[in-house]
Amino acid sequence: NMSTQKCFTKGSAAPGPVPKGSIRLYSMRFCPFAQRTRLVLNAKGIKHDIINIDLASKPEWFLMKNPLGLVPTLETPAGEVIYESAITCEYLDEAYPEKKLLPSSPFAKAQQKMLLEHFSKVVPYFYKIPAGRNKGEDVSELEAEMKEKFAKLNEFLVNKKTRFFGGDSITMIDYWMWPFFERLEVLELNNCLVNSSELKKWKDCMSEDPTVKATTHSVDTYKGFYKTYTEGKADYDYGL
């Protein structure tokens, strides 16, 4: 039901308690960090509901649950609150141990988290380059840096000789990185992949994953949302 996806804003009444046997995600339909959590919920088949938040004008009750005021935020029927995307994903993987996404070996798990740290250094470019272009600035240096960072990820895949970052099937690290790659086209950053053919292959494989398909938006919807975002009046209900 599309109408239930409309975001809750400041002054709105708090939603009812989280039903037993379910878990709740406070989200925003276009947030790449919240998409990490949505990917994990979907991949593991976890029963959940989603409450979207108006990030420009947050409900008071939301700020009481997560003082950082960020999505993704999870809430259990017992009223436990979990936030920060990687923490929410690891929580879900442990609380719902079927179909594990993180490896059980301590070193392999640490490797995925180290890779996430590397990737987190790439994330700002997804914001800086489009914002710079919008202001008519020369972003060629930023683009060169992003290309370089992608080349490093590409090299990782070349050395690992597997299709995905954790092996030959999708694991947590792939879902942690994916939401940003999904936005490359819309943000006109695809050219940063030119010298990274393994990474491009990874991206193509990821886009075929049923869980990825289930959590995405059409390019047109993304474009429409990002237009409102760039103009400084983000429409979080865009397309509903």
Ligand X SMILES: N[C@@H](CCC(=O)N[C@@H](CS)C(=O)NCC(=O)O)C(=O)O
DSSP structural state of residue 86: H
Number of residues that bind ligand X (CB under 6 A): 10
Cβ atoms of 215 and 38 within 8 Å: the answer is yes
Q: How far apart are CA 6 and CA 238, in angstroms?
A: 9
Minimum CB distance to ligand X, residue 65 (Å): 13
Q: Which is nearer to ligand X, 49 or 84 (CB)?
A: 84
Q: Which of 28, 89, 122, 189 binds ligand X (CB under 6 A)?
A: 28
User: Active-site residue among 7, 31, 89, 192?
Assistant: 31
Q: Nearer Cβ to ligand X, position 55 or 151?
A: 55
* Distance (Å, whole) CA 187 – CA 183: 6
Q: How far is the CB of 33 from ligand X (least distance, A)?
A: 4
Token readout for 89 is 């994903």
Q: Which is nearer to ligand X, 191 or 230 (CB)?
A: 230
Measured CA to CA, the distance from residue 238 to residue 228 in angstroms comes to 9
Q: How far is the CB of 86 from ligand X (least distance, A)?
A: 6
31 counts as binding ligand X under rule CB under 6 A: yes
Specify whether the CB–CB gap between 178 and 184 falls below 8 A: no
Residue 188 Rama label (left phi>0; alpha psi -120 to 50; beta): left
Task: Select the residue interacting with ligand X from 84, 143, 235, 237 (CB under 6 A).
Answer: 84
| Residue 31 appears among annotated catalytic residues | yes
Q: Hey, which residues between 46 and 75 contact ligand X (CB under 6 A)?
A: 55, 69-72
Catalytic residues: 31
